[in-house]
């Protein structure tokens, strides 16, 4: 009786330990999957913050340079009428600007692209960063309610913007004929919010732009009011001290968010991207439900089987026999119900068995596999050297793990995560091999999408500024090694803004996408076509001739080909759910500035600057022209 009680105690304790350990392992696996999903969400949030920060910084920088150059040209005395003309010219190519004005020392607007602003007094004492004396530093003021200064009202943390329209004032100290004045720019936040909304759906999260002191400048969250002060649950200090970072937070509405921030490299603002944690965990919840739907019933079944096994067999020998049988059933359930494809092979490679998941992944039936050699599954996408190295590691280490491309029975290609291990007996002798596979094609596709977002323009699918910098560096290094010349062209579309004004930005986007296709078709595959921003593109030509004259002619030939291609009519299809589809015929041209360089004779920024200067020379000469940079080419003053 005592022995029977002891057996009963041992049995139930062992069963409880098994259930608790299995539950713990399942919980730990789910926790790891959840942590991986959160990490992935934070990485995507960080990539978006960087992209939005760079876009906003570049837009402000271009406007700042254009405005300063327009006013400080030849250090002339201020001519309000000429300044107004220059400012209006800048606004034509800057959809993210409401107005650009000039303040005197007392803060009075003395010149403006919007004549109604003249005479308005603008206090800039609370603009950030706080400066002492006349310093040429771009400063950001609190958001204003309204469309422009003439009808606007400055906000504060106590009285944030409460109207649909708002703008963000920026100031830059400049010297005009020996007199210290201030350039005043009104930034249109709607332009940037529209750009952000194309890449991050409102249901997935929101993006906020803050001054470094925490004042909210703009937000895609309709519940947020510009002008309020944010501290991000104590993370504001971290945001001020670091260029970028990631953290989790509970937002004002109670939702948990995966947040990442990225500070501007030039200006005192930071972009914070908040991806809803529930959105980032959607796939994890599906995986959790799937795993629990398998583990739960399996545990319940095992528990019922174990208790039935104990009750039916009271003697120790019978219990051992039934225990062995239960283990076999358990192994069979794991083999059958696993989401990973499992294949068992003999030492000579003969396939002994394969589970249903393996059949579903590869497309081969179990009858087609059993008895065949495992070489049946060896695709031609990896060479024999690859498989020789795999066999060598299996013999030396007893396992191999990696990712390969393989073909299903129907010929379709998929990315496979493969793990092969040797199964040894009690004496350590290898008896068979077990291979486990998973189809990771969707995961690889998601990784490629994240990379596409980081390095390619979402509208034209052309390389963006980050990838252009890398390509230019490679071309410069290749030129240094080979001595061959290279060329860089800066392109700006003529007559683009009237299309946007007449038909909206969606039609303008169609034109930009078509321009990208024509540019790609006009150059070699080894060359690079990139979207620089707005209606500006860059073409990078490598491996030209060994002498400057021949290389210049090669570049001129390509530039002329591009000019003719982009001058051809555009037929843009407008589709609407409310009205019948229609086609807009549009004619535009392109102004091209080019520079030929060799052997690292300048920095990347200098090469871009030279091409930009030549492009403005083409515009000043009448547009639809090609100009090459020379030492006499003037620096660009403002877009015309």
**Are 624 and 591 a contacting pair, CB within 8 Å?**
yes
pLDDT of residue 576: 67
The CA distance from 311 to 212, in Å, is: 71
Closest CA to 214 of 205, 227, 202, 223: 227
* Angle formed by the axes of helices 441-455 and 2-72, nearest 10°: 20
Residue 417 pairs with which residues in a beta bridge?
403, 438
The CA distance from 140 to 125, in Å, is: 11
Q: For residue 59, what are its two tokens?
A: 């837009």
* Angle formed by the axes of helices 2-72 and 80-92, nearest 10°: 140
The CA distance from 140 to 127, in Å, is: 5
**Are 71 and 172 a contacting pair, CB within 8 Å?**
no
**Are 594 and 559 a contacting pair, CB within 8 Å?**
yes
pLDDT of residue 321: 56
pLDDT of residue 295: 86
**Are 471 and 528 a contacting pair, CB within 8 Å?**
yes
pTM greater than 0.75 (yes/no): no
Q: What are phi and psi of 158, to 5 degrees?
A: -80, -25
pLDDT of residue 512: 92
Going along the chain from its start, the domains and CATH numbers come out as 42-280 (3.30.450.20), 338-445 (3.30.450.20), 456-628 (3.30.70.270)
| Burial of residue 351 (number of CB atoms within 10 Å: 0-12, 13-18, 19+) | buried
3-state secondary structure of 270: strand
The pLDDT tens digits for 291-337 are 988 988 988 888 888 888 877 755 555 555 554 454 555 456 667 77
- End-to-end, the C-alpha distance of the chain in Å comes to 102
Q: Cα separations (Å) of 255 from 250, 259, 277, 288, 326? A: 6, 12, 8, 21, 47
**Are 154 and 148 a contacting pair, CB within 8 Å?**
no
Q: What angle do CA 311, 317, 320 make, to 5 degrees?
A: 70
Give the residues of the chain that fall short of pLDDT 50.
Answer: 74, 323-324, 326, 330, 637-640
Q: Return the HEC string of 104-158.
A: CCCCEEEEECCHHHCCCECCCCCCECCCCCCCCCCEECCCEECCCCCCCEECCCC
Q: What single string gives the DSSP state of each residue in 566-587?
A: HHS-EEEEE--SSS--EEEEE-
Q: Report, in angstroms and rounded to the nearest whole number, the Rg of the chain calculated over CA atoms.
A: 33
Would you give the DSSP letter of residue 542? -
Would you give the DSSP letter of residue 272? E
Q: Cα separations (Å) of 131 from 191, 265, 352? A: 29, 19, 78
536-541 vs 486-494, strand pairing mode: antiparallel
pLDDT of residue 160: 93
Place of tokens 């979402």: 458
């Amino acid at each position: 009786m005592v022995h029977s009680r002891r057996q009963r105690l041992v049995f139930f304790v062992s069963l409880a330990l098994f259930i608790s350990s299995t539950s713990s392992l399942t919980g730990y696996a789910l926790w790891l999957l959840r942590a991986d999903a959160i990490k992935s969400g934070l990485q995507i949030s960080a990539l978006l913050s960087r992209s939005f920060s760079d876009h906003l910084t570049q837009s402000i920088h271009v406007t700042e340079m254009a405005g300063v150059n327009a006013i400080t040209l030849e250090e002339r005395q201020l001519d309000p009428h000429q300044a107004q003309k220059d400012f209006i010219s800048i606004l034509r190519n800057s959809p993210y600007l409401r107005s650009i004005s000039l303040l005197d020392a007392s803060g009075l607007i003395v010149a403006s692209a919007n004549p109604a602003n003249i005479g308005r007094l603008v206090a800039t004492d609370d603009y950030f960063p706080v400066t002492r004396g006349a310093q040429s530093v771009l400063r950001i003021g609190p958001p204003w309610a309204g469309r422009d200064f003439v009808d606007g009202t400055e906000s504060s943390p106590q009285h944030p913007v409460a109207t649909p329209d708002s703008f963000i004032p920026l100031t830059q100290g400049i010297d005009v004929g020996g007199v210290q004045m201030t350039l005043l720019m009104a930034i249109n936040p709607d332009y940037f919010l529209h750009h952000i909304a194309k890449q991050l759906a409102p249901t997935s999260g929101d993006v906020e732009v803050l001054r470094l002191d925490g004042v909210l400048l703009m937000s895609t969250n309709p519940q947020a009011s510009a002008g309020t002060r944010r501290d991000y649950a104590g993370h504001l200090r971290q945001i001020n001290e670091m260029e970028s970072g990631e953290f989790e937070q509970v937002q004002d509405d109670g939702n948990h968010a995966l947040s990442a921030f990225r500070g501007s490299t030039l200006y005192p603002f930071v972009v914070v991207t908040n991806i809803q944690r529930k959105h980032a965990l959607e796939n994890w919840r599906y995986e959790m439900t799937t795993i629990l739907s398998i583990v739960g019933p399996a545990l319940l079944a095992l528990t019922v089987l174990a208790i039935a096994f104990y009750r039916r067999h009271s003697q120790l020998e019978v219990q051992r026999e039934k225990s062995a049988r239960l283990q076999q059933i358990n192994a069979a359930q794991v083999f059958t119900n696993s989401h990973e494809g499992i294949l068992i092979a003999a030492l000579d490679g003969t396939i002994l068995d394969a589970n249903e998941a393996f059949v579903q992944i590869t497309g081969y039936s179990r009858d087609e596999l059993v008895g065949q050699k495992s070489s049946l599954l060896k695709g031609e996408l990896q060479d024999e050297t690859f498989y020789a190295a795999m066999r060598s590691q299996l013999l030396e280490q007893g396992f191999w793990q990696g990712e390969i491309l393989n073909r299903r029975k129907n010929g379709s290609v998929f990315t496979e995560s493969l793990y092969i291990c040797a199964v040894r007996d009690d004496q350590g002798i290898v008896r068979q091999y077990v291979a486990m596979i998973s189809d990771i094609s969707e995961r690889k596709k998601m990784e490629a999408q994240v990379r596409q977002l980081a390095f390619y323009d979402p509208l034209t699918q052309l390389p963006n500024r980050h990838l252009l910098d890398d390509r230019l560096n490679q071309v410069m290094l290749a030129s240094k090694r080979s001595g061959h010349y290279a060329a860089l062209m800066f392109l700006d579309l003529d007559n683009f803004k009237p299309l946007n004004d007449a038909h909206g930005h969606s039609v303008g986007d169609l034109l930009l996408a078509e321009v990208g296709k024509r540019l790609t078709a006009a150059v070699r595959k080894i060359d690079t076509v990139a979207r620089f921003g707005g209606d500006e593109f860059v073409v990078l030509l490598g491996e030209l001739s060994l002498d400057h004259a021949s290389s210049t002619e090669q570049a001129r030939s390509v530039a002329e080909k591009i000019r003719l291609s982009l001058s051809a009519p555009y037929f843009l299809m407008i589709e609407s759910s409310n009205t019948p589809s229609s086609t807009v015929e549009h004619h535009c041209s392109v102004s091209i500035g080019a520079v030929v360089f060799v052997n690292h004779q300048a920095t990347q920024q200098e090469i871009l600057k030279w091409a930009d200067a030549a492009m403005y020379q083409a515009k000043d000469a009448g547009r639809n022209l090609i100009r090459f940079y020379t030492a006499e080419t003037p620096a660009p003053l403002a877009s015309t």
